Amino acid sequence: MRIVCYKDKIIKALNSVVKGVASKTTMPILEGILIQTNDKEIKLTTYDLEIGIEYIMDCEVQEQGSTVVNAIMFSEIIRKLPDTEIYISVNEKNLLEIECEGSLYKLATMNPDEFPELPKIEVENSIELEQNTLKNMIRKTIFAVSSEESRPIFTGCLFEIENNKLNVVAVDGFRLALRSIYLNKQTNDFSAVIPGRTLNEVNKIISDSFEPLRIGVAKNQALFEMDNCKVVTRILDGEFLNYKNVIPGNWETRMRVNKNSLQNSFERISLISASSVEKEKKYPVKVQVDIGKVVISCTNQTGDAKEELYVSTEGKNLEAGFNPKYFLDSLKAIDDEEVYVEFGSNISPCLIKSIDNNDYTYMILPIRLKE
């Protein structure tokens, strides 16, 4: 194998594929990157048996071949080379040689035949999105994904296509995040739960642009297809929460509030709420809605905090306890200037919703207040 390519081009490829490299594995081949030439292209592949990433790029192939080399070491060396042509080849001792100006690096290689094959995917359903749209949907829901491996289905986001609308839902037992957008093209209804880890990696690979991306779903696998790059992932098996049934349809107390003011109040109050000397005890903050105002307060050994905001309110007065982190996570994911915050009783979930449309619903369960 012998190829010549420009640094900036191969770095772009490496930045995408190294995301899929296994860390802390007992199989060194999974820490490798498979380099395969194909006529006038090379294909770079990484695969940790859960997420597989392929990137195809044009380059000058002087001799066909394939090899596997440690991905981190290879990409770090390339990253530090000067911005010019790089010669990459496998020598007679089976070492990968990287040559560039006065630099010559030789790295041990592994047998490409031992590199596990990416699963073949027969896409049954698919949608097309702009990359920045997917980036947005991921950023605005992924924080609510569960990290508890005991209920694996909730470690992923539900992607549900229903009546040409894409709903992305994450839930962790304490809160729920739901984002929806309408799709441009007529699409079959289907759904799949994509692992949170995959979405994090895909999020790093996709750009904040209007470039298209296709998400294809097969029986056990999903596929994210971009221009040169393809990400293959398993999908999570099991029954996702029937989320529509758990989101309350009506409220007893509602306030309309400036999103940033509310977020800033929760940020400050978190300093006191999170500073408890008894780390294990969760100190909820108390939310009190009265006519025309909301008071958020918290008391513990460190001190005493009170935040008062003048807001427009409707319905009954209310007093309930919440973990301020859940409010903060949700509010940070909202770009609107104002939001509705809806409550039922002091033991019902609280909803944060858009003033203008149904693009998002964040649901937060209350915590019992200490007497």
* Among 73, 183, 328, 365, interactor with a second copy by CB under 8 A: 73
Report d(CA 6, CA 85) in Å as an integer: 5
Pairing of strands 318-322, 285-290: antiparallel
Among the residue ranges 13-21, 271-279, 321-329, 348-356, the one whose residues contact a second copy (CB under 8 A): 271-279
**Min. distance of Cβ 294 from a second copy in angstroms?**
10
Task: Return all residues near 197 (Cβ < 8 A) that are at least 6 apart.
Answer: 50, 51, 155
Amino acid identity at 265: S
Report d(CA 298, CA 338) in Å as an integer: 24
Report d(CA 28, CA 24) in Å as an integer: 9
* Among 28, 49, 62, 82, interactor with a second copy by CB under 8 A: 82
Is residue 304 close enough to count as binding a second copy by CB under 8 A?
Answer: yes
Is residue 123 close enough to count as binding a second copy by CB under 8 A?
Answer: no
Is residue 103 close enough to count as binding a second copy by CB under 8 A?
Answer: yes
Write phi, then psi, for 112 (nearest 5 degrees).
-60, -25
Give the residue with the Cβ less far from a second copy, 203 or 300.
300
Is residue 368 close enough to count as binding a second copy by CB under 8 A?
Answer: no
Give the residue with the Cβ less far from a second copy, 111 or 207.
111
Among the residue ranges 74-82, 186-194, 203-211, 236-244, the one whose residues contact a second copy (CB under 8 A): 74-82
Is residue 190 close enough to count as binding a second copy by CB under 8 A?
Answer: no
* Among 63, 76, 162, 227, interactor with a second copy by CB under 8 A: 76
Residues of this chain, 207-266, that bind a second copy according to CB under 8 A: 264-265
Among the residue ranges 115-123, 212-220, 307-315, 331-339, the one whose residues contact a second copy (CB under 8 A): 307-315
Angstrom CA distances, 307 to 25, 66, 230, stand at 48, 63, 48
Is residue 309 close enough to count as binding a second copy by CB under 8 A?
Answer: yes
Q: How far apart are the first and last CA of the chain?
A: 73
Task: Return all residues near 236 (Cβ < 8 A) that are at least 6 apart.
Answer: 152, 153, 155, 156, 193, 194, 195
Coil vs helix vs strand at 188:
coil
> For residue 203, what are its two tokens?
């999020």
Q: Which residues pair with 320 in a beta bridge?
A: 287
* Among 23, 102, 356, 357, interactor with a second copy by CB under 8 A: 102
* Among 105, 174, 240, 340, interactor with a second copy by CB under 8 A: 105
**Min. distance of Cβ 97 from a second copy in angstroms?**
9
Q: How many residues bind a second copy (CB under 8 A)?
A: 32
Report d(CA 235, CA 312) in Å as an integer: 44
Task: Return all residues near 16 (Cβ < 8 A) that are at least 6 apart.
Answer: 53, 55, 205, 229
Is residue 29 close enough to count as binding a second copy by CB under 8 A?
Answer: no
Binding site for a second copy (CB under 8 A): 70, 73, 76-77, 80-82, 95, 102-108, 264-265, 267-268, 271-272, 275, 301-310
